[in-house]
């Protein structure tokens, strides 16, 4: 019988590995860098590795960060009963992190987070929107275009449409003119996205309101929607562009912090001003946990109108753990640093 110390393995895809692979696949370096920036949390989390090791040690665990390219060999040698795999970065197209939970399952290892099927679903915005709609959730109906041609025509929208890449992060490749008032412009945006990123676009009716995020980390396996942290994310703009995203994370964010130009969006608890919307979001999250299988750690993005109407935009099974909003959530909800919250959640699954 094995006496190996219980271990938390954090699997991540480094930005540079992704960038090098994209360039080798003939992506323009500037665009490859923009695409790889979606993995900035793998860069930012490195500063937490020592704290994670200490936090795990105090709870009877060992900690091992693991680059994705080494996962095939390393995970095959781990002991199923004493190993927990936490996948930090997802992806099925430009990124490959969705392979990590599948590798863990292949080797009989325990995992934290959703099963690998949801890693694929959440990265395909058109398909995930169809599934969310089938569950009766308030997701905007979407059209679908590729390089200037409709695959699925979008619905009519007096308020115009919002255009975003389908398989990249919802904000990657988004320009200031991504909200448009005519469908010809939407098709032009699809050509720009295809030329820059080789991706299709989702074209949704524009919905008014404020951006909101629900963050979740279940410190114990039976934690429910009462532990959601639901906040408006106010940056002063209607939506976040690619440039805005680059300024918050990874190397660009680090430069901004060093120069004193770094500014985080304000996080304002929704329950303080719109308790009915807060309750609606908790019901939606509960439906996703039961009907879709979200668990352990995730985030959900919404638009919330002044009359408490709530629009579900997307869900993420690999939320940006080292990002400002998830750190804030760990402090507010659990009274813990990011490292202690992660270690506590892991210990409660491995040592229960």
* % of the chain residues with pLDDT over 70: 89
| pLDDT tier, 335 (very low <50, low <70, confident <90, very high otherwise) | very high
Mean pLDDT computed over 235-255: 55
Q: For residue 341, with 0-12 CB atoms within 10 Å meaning exposed, 13-18 middle and 19 or more buried, which class applies? A: buried
Mean pLDDT computed over 13-33: 95
pLDDT at 234: 83
| pLDDT tier, 145 (very low <50, low <70, confident <90, very high otherwise) | very high
Rounded-to-integer distance, Cα 130 and Cα 267, Å: 30
Specify whether the CB–CB gap between 103 and 72 falls below 8 A. Answer: yes
pLDDT at 194: 95
Say which DSSP state 320 is in: -
**Residue entry with tokens 């869900």:** 315
pLDDT at 1: 44
pLDDT at 92: 85
Specify whether the CB–CB gap between 68 and 36 falls below 8 A. Answer: no
| pLDDT tier, 260 (very low <50, low <70, confident <90, very high otherwise) | low
User: What is the chain's mean pLDDT, rounded?
Assistant: 91
**Strand pairing report for 143-146 and 297-304:** unpaired
**Strand pairing report for 179-180 and 297-304:** unpaired
Domain boundaries, the chain: 7-113, 141-205, 210-350
CATH fold, domain 210-350, is: D-amino Acid Aminotransferase; Chain A, domain 1 (3.30.470)
| pLDDT tier, 282 (very low <50, low <70, confident <90, very high otherwise) | very high
Mean pLDDT computed over 223-241: 81
Angle between helices 49-57 and 338-350 (to 10 degrees): 40
């Amino acid at each position: 019988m094995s006496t190996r110390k219980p271990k938390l393995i954090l699997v991540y895809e480094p930005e540079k590995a992704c960038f090098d692979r994209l360039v080798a696949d003939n992506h323009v370096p500037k665009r490859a860098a923009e695409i790889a920036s979606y993995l900035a949390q793998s860069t930012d989390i490195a500063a937490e590795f020592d704290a994670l090791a200490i936090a795990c040690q105090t709870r009877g665990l060992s900690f091992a960060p693991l680059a994705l390219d080494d996962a095939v060999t390393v995970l095959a040698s781990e002991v199923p009963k004493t190993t927990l795999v936490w996948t930090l970065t997802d992806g099925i197209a430009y990124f490959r992190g969705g392979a990590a939970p599948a590798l863990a399952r292949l080797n009989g290892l325990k995992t934290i987070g959703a099963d690998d099927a949801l890693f694929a679903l959440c990265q395909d915005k058109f398909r995930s929107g169809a599934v969310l709609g089938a569950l009766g959730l308030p997701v905007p109906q979407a059209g679908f275009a590729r390089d200037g041609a409709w695959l699925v025509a979008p619905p009519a929208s007096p308020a115009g449409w919002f255009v975003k890449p389908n398989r990249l992060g919802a904000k990657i490749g988004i320009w200031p003119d991504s909200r448009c008032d005519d469908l010809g412009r939407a098709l032009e945006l699809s050509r720009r996205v295809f030329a820059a990123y080789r991706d299709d676009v989702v074209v949704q009716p524009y919905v008014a309101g404020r951006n909101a995020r629900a963050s979740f980390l279940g410190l114990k396996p039976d934690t429910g929607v009462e532990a959601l942290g639901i906040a408006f994310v106010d940056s002063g703009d209607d939506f976040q562009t690619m440039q805005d995203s680059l300024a918050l994370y990874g190397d660009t964010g680090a430069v901004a912090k060093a120069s004193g130009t770094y500014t985080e969006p304000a996080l304002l608890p929704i329950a303080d001003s719109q308790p009915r919307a807060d309750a609606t979001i908790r019901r939606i999250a509960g439906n996703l946990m039961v009907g879709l299988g979200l668990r352990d750690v995730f985030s959900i993005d919404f638009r919330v109108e002044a009359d408490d109407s709530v629009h579900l935009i997307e869900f993420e099974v690999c939320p940006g753990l080292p990002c400002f909003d998830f750190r804030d959530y760990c402090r507010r909800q659990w009274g813990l640093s990011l490292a202690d919250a992660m270690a506590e959640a892991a210990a409660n699954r491995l040592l229960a």
